[in-house]
Amino acid sequence: MDEMQKQQHLQTYLKRNPFPGIRSDIPAKIKWLKAIDDHHMDIMEDSCYSSLAPEASDAVKDILLDTAPELIRVNFAISSNHLDAISNSLGEEQKNKFVLNYQKNLGGTGTRKRKTSSEATPSSLVTFEKCLEWIKENKKASSDEFIIATVKVAKDTPISEFYKKIREDLGIADCTKGGLGNHERSLWNWGLQEKVGQNMYCGDSDDESDGDGDSVHWNIHLASCNTEPESNLSDTQQEVRAFRKLLKDQVAASEARGNLKCYTLVKRKDAPDNDGGESDDSDVDEEDEDEGIPQTPEYFQPLWLPKGFTEHYSRIACHLSSGEGECRDIQQRLEKGNTDSGNIKIELFEYELQYAKKIQTTTERLCAILALSLAASNDDYWMHDNENPQKVLRLIKSLALVWRNDLLLKDDANLGIGIGDGMEEEVDGDGLTTSRALLYQYLGQIATSFENHVKKFQWKPVAKK
């Protein structure tokens, strides 16, 4: 579809679903987005799905970007509780950095009115405590939310260019994470878009002039993470935090060596039985922890993998579960979660398997095949709810063969497993290094999921006699 056809489709959408205006609030823009989605479905059904009309998400991004003023005010908003949590967790060096950079990152009020002389940043903000007090008195964005930084950026600016930098300048990068507000979280398949102007900006109703973009803003909502002071943590929580810091440092060291790694945690075979005692839910990623078991070295070991595993898993899991990258028709059929969805997932699985098998480098092939194995076993209903069970058996057998006859015949160095710090790993009674033993244990867990649907997932190489 060329640019002229694309613009024609956009005008068709806008004729039936007028843009609510750059200053319209987020609920109004959500309603408009959903109306365009309904319009798109009407077009596709009327054309027997032959139309090239862009999907609602693509159309809305283009319209938002085209319509936005040249400059948009980006506010970094945070709730009162999270602001207090962050202030309690910052060290003196971080607090000094916040004070040093706060005034130059202030930029605007973030409220629905122009700045007045009384709102100008006072020169007396020379300590962190005074900055915090002034924010709470003057920077309220809602009943329980404050603006801690504001930047004016061009509408086509990639978020990645300033988001991390602002948090680093303020010294809060390690204790904050970004997300969407309540309205934005309810958006249909929206999330954070690459360019500022593609996001759901809204306006300050008291100012009707477009001006330099002051009248239009977009909020990035920050939340605290890992901010509880050490003195308030239990022994188990301190162990969890220390373990995660160790792993983070090891990742950083691998990057310095030019051999970037990621990890997944595997439960130790010799882990003690968990008696349902304390765990640290706030400091543990859900996907990395068995329910109720604290994420400490007593219970878990890291399986070190090439960094590419994270990227492959992110893409493959989204493709298999929701059809990311496929047309909207495919995505909607997947959303039904029925037999038809299962049939589609068979085709998606086959595509990913054939793609992964063709990857030339062993390390990348491992990443893709492991990501596919994990993603398919985590979302496995399609293996029994489909109209082609024989094809499912054939594909799963083919996946197991890649492990048995290809990948697991390679040595650890070729696979890229292990932390790669030059230290020789221990070898167990079966002749397996620590990393390979963990990989085998991890694959055993994945095989258990597959074997709920097929008789045997034969992934392990035949032992040499």
DSSP 439-454: HHHHHHHHHHHHTTTS
Q: What pLDDT, on the 0 to 100 scale, is given for residue 231?
A: 56
Its pTM stands at 0.60
- Chain mean position to CA 306: 19
Q: Is 251 helix (H, G, I), strand (E, B) or coil?
A: helix
Q: What pLDDT, on the 0 to 100 scale, is given for residue 54?
A: 87
Measuring CA to CA, which residue among 155, 184, 195 is closest to residue 68? Answer: 155
Q: Are 399 and 355 in contact (CB under 8 A)?
A: no
Q: Are 416 and 363 in contact (CB under 8 A)?
A: yes
Q: Are 216 and 152 in contact (CB under 8 A)?
A: no
Tokens of 243: 């373990």
Composition of the chain by helix, strand, coil, percent to 5: 50, 10, 35
Distance in angstroms (rounded) separating the CA atoms of residues 40 and 47: 11
Distance in angstroms (rounded) separating the CA atoms of residues 206 and 106: 21
Q: What Cα–Cα distance (Å) separates residue 139 from each residue in 111, 213, 436?
A: 7, 19, 54
Under 8 Å CB-to-CB from 174, ≥6 apart: which residues?
Answer: 226
Q: What pLDDT, on the 0 to 100 scale, is given for residue 122?
A: 58
Task: Please provide residue 202's backbone torsions phi and psi, each rounded to the nearest 5 degrees.
Answer: -145, 180
What stretches in the chain show pLDDT beneath 50? 107-120, 182-189, 206-214, 276-290
| 44-57 per-residue burial string, b: 16 or more CB within 10 A, e: under 16 | beeeeeeeebbbbb
Under 8 Å CB-to-CB from 317, ≥6 apart: which residues?
Answer: 371, 374, 375, 378, 379
Tokens of 232: 């308030």
- Chain mean position to CA 25: 26
Q: Which residues pair with 266 in a beta bridge?
A: 301
Torsion of CA 371, 375, 380, 381, to 10 degrees: -140
Distance in angstroms (rounded) separating the CA atoms of residues 424 and 418: 10
Amino acid at site 316: I
Q: Are 178 and 221 in contact (CB under 8 A)?
A: yes
Q: What pLDDT, on the 0 to 100 scale, is given for residue 18?
A: 95
Tens digits of per-residue pLDDT, 208-223? 444 444 467 887 777 7
